[in-house]
Amino acid sequence: MAQAVDHTAVEFSMVRTGRANPGILSRIAVDYYGTTTPLQQIAGFSVPEARMLVVQPYDKASIPAIERAIHEADLGLNPSNDGNIIRLAFPALTEERRRDLIRMVRHIAEEGRIAIRNVRRHIKDDMEALEGEISEDDIRRGEKELQELTDASVHKLDELLGHKEEELLEV
């Protein structure tokens, strides 16, 4: 269940808000000398302004490949370089785009809840399969604890969702 919550948090970090966040680039892979390499292994990141992200490649020859990878990632960002660094300007979000992103974030949260419920169902099935080896009271006690863990995990996920929605609505 904790893995489902962590995965959902990572998915939330991929959703672009109006602010620059290096986490949005964490899934980008660059074709670096014929090898697919994660961007964070070949470049450093900094956020000099709220709406500007700077990518500083360790090897200046990799700048065109990094720009191509960012374009192909379809993040809605246009990289510009000066030969040394790549700048990514984050445009302000429109109200309509904010609503779309909130809808998308809620969908991601629902997928996380489904994953948590699937874990609960599998564990409950495993406990019921032990019927006969352990007492029914132990099974009921285990199911109650399982439900408490499920509720706590869903609560954590809902908190993450609330924070992300606030972040998206922030102008």
Measure the CA–CA gap between 9 and 106, rounded to whole angstroms: 12
Question: What local confidence, expressed as pLDDT, does residue 171 receive?
Answer: 63
Q: What is the mean pLDDT of each run of 10 residues along the chain (171 residues)?
A: 90 75 82 88 88 89 90 81 87 82 91 95 91 87 93 95 87 63
Task: Say if residue 58 is exposed, middle or buried (CB neighbours under 10 Å; 0-12, 13-18, 19+).
Answer: exposed
Encoded tokens for 77: 């960002």
Of 100, 71, 118, 68, give the one whose Cα is nearest residue 169: 100
Domains of the chain: 19-89 (3.30.1360.40), 95-169 (1.10.132.20)
DSSP letter at 134 equals B
Encoded tokens for 150: 């499920």
Beta strands in 27-90 (DSSP E): 29-32, 35-38, 43-49, 52-57, 79-81, 86-89
